[in-house]
Structure 1
Amino acid sequence: MAAPPRAPAAGPGAVPARRARTGARLLLPVALALLAVPLVTAAHHSRPAPYGDHLAAHARVSGAGAGPAPALRIRGRAVEAYDPRGGTVRWTYTREGRRPLALLPAPGHAFALWSDGLVTDTERDAGRFVRWHRAIPQSAAWLRTPAARGGAGVLRPLTDGARMLAVVTPHRIAAYRAADGDLRWVLPARPGCAFAPARSLRRGGALLVAQPCPGAALSWTAQVIAVDDRGRVVPGRTPLGNGDLERGAERAGSPEN
């Protein structure tokens, strides 16, 4: 009976071939992982910015205190910060489908009111981030009026250095801590009356705001109110604010919380 044929002896190239196949199997998952890195990165960068924010830096700022703070202006649909000495644009801030209505510069802060009723605070010197966004409640109808589009008097400082920001609308005055946007107090207008944002001024540490009451038998002094960081200024008042204004100040240099 004939013996079965013997398998050919392994040649000198057999072991390297097996190693090559093993190496290829090991390299495949590594290559796939490397290919996934740019895909993950691209997906991260394609996420829509919160609130439609777009911040663009145009001039390098070496640090805080390097020259005067930039001036602010509204140009088209953008908030623009520029060097007051030469006009060089430092940064611009836009929001998709929105336009700024009013601006309030303050040390380290660039407050803005937008057409969708949001109030924002941007780091002023270099425009590195937006600290916070806060919505004005029940403001949609008023925002469509010519008075709102002008934005006069809506954003007012309540304290020296603008540690507190007042947002004055016909229906209410709301006070926010500048460091983090914390709502401190809200004062509604007297029934039948309305605040007049454009008719307000700071005097002796208080903000005086006109509150006309058509048809009401009230003296003109009764149609002006005074507020400060603690709320309405009246004899024997109970402060509307709660807590320390400095709480949260350590986060003033951080992105929105």
Structure 2
Amino acid sequence: VMAVVPLDATRGTRPAQEAPRPLRTARPAPPRRSRAGLVLPVLLALLALPLAAAAHQVRPTPYGDHLVRVAAQPGGPAPRLRTRGAAVEAYDTVTRWRHTRAGRRPLAVSAAPGQAFALWSDGMVTDTERADGRSVRWHRAIPDAAAWLRTPDARGGAGVLQPLDPGARMLAVVTPQRIAGYRTEDGDLRWVLPARAGCVFEPASFVRRSGVLLVAQPCADSAIAWSERIIAVDGLGRVVPGRTPLGNGMPRAGLRGGVEKELAPHR
């Protein structure tokens, strides 16, 4: 009888070979830019500069000013001023220039040598070069005036703009609450005269006498003397006996090379 002995089939056999790993392929090196490839971005940047400058020029100005020179006429007399629609115009035989502000309209104008003052519906006062309207020198906002200018009492801004001094070196802006004096050269605020308690100024009620501006100041209290109901101002502020006002001139160079402001003399 033959016995059958079970055999281990795995003995003596070679181990199964592992599957071959995929070979790593080297990444292709980035192509080197040629000189032509470097020049193209530079040219595009140079071409974009004029476009950026043009976009800067067409941006709206902070106060919405728009000046148009209609006719250049150097020399001759200074042009007159007028309001027409939404514009301030300077004209003689023809319109020289036109000044508009986006969404605003002029209420009143006042002329001085070389300067054109305008009061606008938002309570802004501007000073434009009178001869050719090349630029607006300065803008000044009148405090608490925009709402008042929309009322019938404002009378279209009559009497609000009052040039002072023989050479109009100062501009008085008269509103019911206060009279403010601005230096016309740069628009610097030099003095403020508030109305008396219980009283208001009437810009449209004024007269001029010997370089002095007299403005009516009606009061609710009948006991206030009539002399207190009329206020006299000039370029230095309120005219009162024995005053020692500050100077309104531009700052000048001091002895030490700095800037020296004009001060009132010793009392």
Q: Normalising by the residue count of structure 2, what TM-score does the alignment of the two structures yield? A: 0.78
The one of 63, 79, 85 equivalent to 2:88 is 79
Alignment match, 1:34: 46
Q: Among residues 133, 142, 145, which one is paired with 2:148 in the alignment? A: 142
Q: Once the two structures are superposed, what CA deviation does each residue of 1:105-159 show, in whole Å capped at 9, x if it has no partner?
A: 1100000111111110000000000000001112233111123251111000121
Output aligned runs, 1:1-257, within 5 Å: 22-62=34-74, 66-83=75-92, 86=93, 88-239=94-245, 242-247=246-251
1:165-204 per-position Cα deviation (integer Å, ceiling 9, x unaligned)? 0000011000000000000000000111110101112211
Distance 1:191 1:59 in 2: 50
In the aligned structure 1, how far is the partner of 2:79 from the partner of 2:202? Answer: 29
How many Å separate the matches in 1 of 2:43 and 2:116? 47
Comparing 213-222 with 161-170, greater Cα deviation is found at 213-222
> How many equivalent residue pairs?
220
Q: Secondary structure at the match of 1:44?
A: helix
- The alpha carbon displacement at 1:246 in A equals 4.2
Q: Which has the larger radius of gyration?
A: 2
- Preserved contact between residue 236 and residue 247 of structure 2 (Cα < 8 Å): no
Amino acid at match of 1:78: A
What is the percent sequence identity of the aligned residues?
68
- Please identify runs of 4+ aligned residues in structure 1 that moved more than 4 A: none
More helix by share: 1
Corresponding letter in the other structure for 2:86: R
Give ranges in structure 1 of 5+ residues lacking alignment: 1-20, 249-257
Q: CA RMSD in A?
A: 1.6
RCO comparison, higher one (Cα < 8 Å, 6+): 1
2: CA distance between counterparts of 1:200 and 1:32? Answer: 64
Kept in 2: contact 1:101–1:148 (CA 8 A): no
